[in-house]
Structure formats: structure tokens, C-alpha cells
Structure 1
Amino acid sequence: PVDALRIRKKPGTNTSLLKKPEVYVDVKNRAVDEIMERIKKGVVLKPTQKPPQTGLDEDSLEDQKAEKRKAAVREWQLLSENIKKTGPRRMQSRNIRHDVEEPELQKVFRRRRQALLNAKESLHTADQ
């Protein structure tokens, strides 16, 4: 906007510079108008093909529900059988190595704790 005012003040300037902002505004206005029209018209959804619902009465709906329940029960039984076959999984907490990916401070604390426990055990066994 400031450039357009400067150009108007100068006599004998090129008028093509004045037309560029108008063209830009015109394109912008057309784009805004087009977007507004699209918004006003709303989103057009494509129609979907629905399967024909012939013979779906209450009995057939109940049969379908019963089949789904039976399938769920069968799946649950298979899962429980697989769990029984594999047996319970036990965590081997005693075999876990503490020095893998352990921060340095935690390593120091663990060593000190272990040294204190060893010292207490040795004092306890020496007293007896």
C-alpha cells in the first residue's frame, strides 16, 4: 500500500506498477469468493451402496447375535488352552544383571549397599 502512494505522488511514473496490486487483490478476492461458495454449498458426500435388507427379522438378528457369542466363547477357550499349555511365566528377578545400562550413581550406591551388607554379615558370623 505504501508503494502505491509513493508512485501516485511522483508525476510521470509508470502506471503498470499501480495495476499489479489490483490484480493481486482481484485474484485474492476471487479465491475468497470461491472458498465462501464452497462453504455455503457444504460438503457433498457420495452415495453409498447399502446391501438390501431382505428377511432380517427379529429371529435372524437373534441368530446372528448367538453366533457371535459362540464365536467369542470359542476364541476364549482357545486362548485359555494355549495359556495352560505354555504354563505360567516367571520373572527371574535374581538373574537380572543390574550393571546393564545402569547410571554411574546407581552403580556406586549398589556397590556401597553390597559392601555394607557383606560387612554386617561378616561381623554377625564373627560374633557367633
Structure 2
Amino acid sequence: MNQPTKTDERIANMSFASVYPHYLTKVEKKGRTREDLHAVISWLTGYDEAAISHHINQKSNFRMFFDQASLNPNAHLITGVICGYRVESIENPLSQKVRYLDKLVDELAKGKALEKLCGSLRL
């Protein structure tokens, strides 16, 4: 098993609550809503509104956030480049999950329809 890099550790210890406002701003600037953002978070993690709020209020780091999630079995179908890395090639499982979320938020902000975004990943 590969050892986590400094970047992997930094990502794991980053709080979801500190990144969430950036996700929200990104999608809202492109005319999307908080509900749209929560729909993709829910699709990926299985979290409902209460669970998302809980992780924000508790300032859960990404390790806790994804340890408690029920990752969608079709998450592996998320592909593409995010932050200069090909999502499907990221070796650290937690870093890959965080990048899956980043990729979904990016696609949402680019205007991709929820039905098409999550539907193409086989809801």
C-alpha cells in the first residue's frame, strides 16, 4: 500500500466546513443553488441535509467526512482532470474521494444538468 504524501495528509486534515463555502460560492456564481450542491454531495456520500449540516457544524475534516459516508458505488465512474490530476489515477483513496467531490462541484458549476451529471454516473 502506498504511503500518504504530505499533500494527502493535508487534504485529509482539511476541514470540510472550510471548503464548503468555496464550493457554494463557485456554484452560485454560475447560477446554481445550494440545493444543487447538496444534491451532488448527497449522491456521492449518501448524506442527507442533516448529515451535511452536522459535518459543517462539527468542522469535520475530510477523513471523518468520508469515513462516515456511504460512497456511491458508481463514484469510480467519475473521470477527468481536477487541480492538474487525473481523478481516476489518484492512488490515495481518501484524496481520490475528495477529488471526486471537487470534480462533481466543478461540473455542476460549468452548468451540467444534475440529471445528466448524476444520471450519466448511473444514479
- Pairwise same-fold verdict (TM > 0.5): no
Where relative contact order (Cα < 8 A, 6+ residues apart) is larger, the structure is 2
Q: Which TM-score bucket, shorter chain as reference?
A: under 0.3
State the TM-score, normalized to the length of structure 1.
0.17
Query: TM-score scaled by structure 2?
Result: 0.18
